[in-house]
Amino acid sequence: MPLPTSNTLYGDKTYWDERYAAESADAPFDWFKSYNDLAPQLRGLIPQKDARILMLGCGNSTLSQDMYADGYTDIVNVDYSSVVIEQMRARHPEMEWLEMDVRSLKFADGAFDVAIDKGTMDAMMTAKGDIWNPPQQVVDDVTAEVSEVLRTLKPGGIFVYLTFGQPHFRRRFLTREGTTLEVRELGEADAFHYYLYILRT
C-alpha cells in the first residue's frame, strides 16, 4: 500500500477514507505488533473474557478479530472513517462497528471495562512541529481522546495504549489525577522499541 506523501496525512480523515477505498476490502493491515505478539500482555491485563472492550481507531487491523477468536466477544470497534467501518462490518458482523471520532465518543459514562489504542493517538501526533513542544492542536486532540476514554471507562477500568512513543514524549498526556500509569517496554521490533502504557482508573 502506498505511503502518504507526508506523515502529517496520518492525522487526516480524507486520507484514510481514500486509502481504505483504494485498498482491497480483504486486505487487513496491522500497525505495530500483532495480537500474537501482544496476547500474553493482554490476557494478563484482561483476565475476564466477558470484559466490554472499546477498540479505538480500529482501522482494518486484525486485532479485534483475533481477540474475538481468543474468547473476547464483547468488542465495540470505532473509527472516524465510514469507509473502513462499512468494510469491517461486512467482514465481521459478529462484532459492533461504529463510525465515531475518538475525541468525541458517543457512549455513556462508564460503558466499558477496557479501551485499547494501537496507533490511533500516534496518528494524531504527526502534525509538523517540535516533538518536545507539540502544536496546540496535537495537545488538544490527544487530551480530548484521553479524557473521553477515561469518561467511558468504568471505575477500575483500564486504558491500554501501544506505541513506539517513548515515555518522555507520551507520559505527559497520560498522567491524570485519580489514575495510575504503568509503562512496559516490550522490546525492539522493526527497528523500533515498543511501549505499552496502562492507565488505570
List the 75-79 sheet strands across, edge first. Answer: 96-99, 75-79, 53-56, 112-118, 153-163, 192-200, 180-189
Beta-carbon contacts of residue 129 (< 8 Å; ≥ 6 apart): 135, 138
**What CA–CA distance (Å, rounded) separates 179 from 170?**
15
Block means of pLDDT (10 residues each) for the chain, length 201 residues?
49 62 62 85 97 96 96 97 94 96 97 96 77 85 97 98 91 95 81 88 95
How far is residue 23's CA from residue 125's CA, in Å, rounded to a whole number? 24
Sole residue written with cell 484482561:
46
CATH of span 7-200: 3.40.50.150
